[in-house]
């Protein structure tokens, strides 16, 4: 199948929202920016490092690639509006796999009403999926990592430890509990919580892609503060506990350092009334770094892209 024919089949399967003034088919797309500002982020998945085809379907890979970027937009307090997708692939990759990948991107974007507005394909030795996502702040101030202040509370929305539990099961050749295995293949992101946190006055925010402690470390460093985490406030879901029991592992370590769940963690001024989906897990103090139950964490804080 020729490149342009394949691109045409992909884009025909993808949604085009009302904010797209000119969609795929030209050298570039045109999208509306009602706020006058646009949030932009990009991320990639590489076969063998971020996913394996014997573990994940093409649809799972598409959903995960889109989710990683859409979550970053939400973590700025914005509503995702559009994405572009670039694909590097071996020449012998089946066209059906690529079309299923497109279905996964379409499904994840459909969850937030975002449009796929273009992309590119190129030959490569391994499959590489690079996604760029755009978002609309809708009049809100962006929520950076650098705004946390001493006295703020730290709150979390979403799941932790699920993807890491699924990864560890797959590494051991196990596929149950299925819920956590699927969580590794395709995360469940609380997208609406990002703009909600911004409306509530969040002072700093980040999505948990590298691990809770690692990502809180990004906030602590950017804000020049110390963040404390209360382990007793963290939830360990039953499927995560079951996976830990099967592998004789510590589920708390997965919750603290496991990545790719794309939960949202934010700091709020003390006294902020938070919706039920948000739970307070710690606080912000003067100092530096991240403490767990008032103590430095002995293990790794999370995923290191270059280790």
Q: Specify binding-site residues for ATP.
A: 119-120, 145, 209
CA dihedral 46, 51, 57, 60 (to 10 degrees): -90
Binding residues for substrate: 50, 260, 303
Q: Which residues contact 281 (CB under 8 A, 6 or more apart)?
A: 154, 155, 156, 229, 230, 233, 234, 265
Binding residues for Mg(2+): 27, 41-43, 72, 120, 207, 210
Asked if 84 contacts 131 with a C-beta cutoff of 8 angstroms, the reply is yes
Residue 110, φ and ψ in degrees, nearest 5: -60, -30
Binding residues: 27, 41-43, 50, 72, 119-120, 145, 207, 209-210, 260, 303
CA dihedral 111, 117, 122, 124 (to 10 degrees): -20
Strand runs labelled E in 3-152: 20-22, 30-31, 39-46, 79-89, 115-123, 128-136
Q: Which residues contact 226 (CB under 8 A, 6 or more apart)?
A: 220, 284, 285, 286, 287, 288, 289, 290, 291
Residue 164, φ and ψ in degrees, nearest 5: -65, -40
- Nearest by Cα to 65 from 264, 218, 260, 263: 260
CA 220 to chain centre: 19
Coil vs helix vs strand at 199: helix
Strand runs labelled E in 16-78: 20-22, 30-31, 39-46
């Amino acid at each position: 199948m020729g490149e342009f024919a394949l691109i045409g089949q992909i884009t025909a399967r993808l949604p085009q929202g009302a904010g797209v003034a000119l969609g795929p088919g030209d050298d570039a797309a045109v999208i509306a920016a009602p706020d006058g500002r646009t949030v932009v982020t990009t991320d990639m998945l590489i076969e063998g490092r971020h996913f394996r085809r014997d573990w994940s379907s093409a649809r799972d890979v598409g959903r995960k690639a889109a989710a990683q970027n859409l979550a970053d937009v939400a973590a700025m307090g914005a509503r995702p509006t559009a994405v572009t997708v670039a694909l590097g692939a071996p020449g012998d990759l089946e066209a059906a796999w690529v079309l299923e990948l497109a279905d996964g991107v379409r499904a994840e974007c459909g969850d937030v009403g975002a449009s796929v507005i273009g992309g590119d394909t190129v030959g490569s030795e391994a499959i590489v999926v690079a996604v760029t996502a755009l978002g609309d702040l809708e009049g809100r101030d962006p929520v950076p990592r650098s705004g946390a202040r001493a006295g703020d509370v730290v709150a979390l929305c979403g799941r932790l430890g699920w993807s890491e539990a699924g990864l560890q099961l797959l590494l051991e050749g196990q596929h149950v509990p299925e819920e956590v295995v699927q969580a590794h293949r395709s995360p469940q992101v609380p997208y609406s919580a990002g703009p909600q946190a911004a409306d509530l006055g969040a002072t700093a925010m980040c999505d948990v892609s590298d691990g809770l402690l690692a990502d809180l470390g990004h906030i602590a460093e950017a804000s020049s503060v110390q963040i404390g985490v209360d382990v007793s406030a963290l939830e360990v879901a039953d499927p995560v506990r079951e996976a830990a029991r099967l592998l004789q592992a510590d589920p708390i370590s997965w919750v603290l350092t496991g990545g790719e769940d794309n939960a949202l963690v934010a700091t709020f001024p003390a006294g902020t009334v938070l919706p039920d989906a948000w739970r307070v897990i710690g606080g912000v103090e003067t100092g530096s770094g991240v403490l767990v139950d008032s103590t430095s964490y002995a293990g790794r804080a999370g995923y290191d892209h270059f280790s």
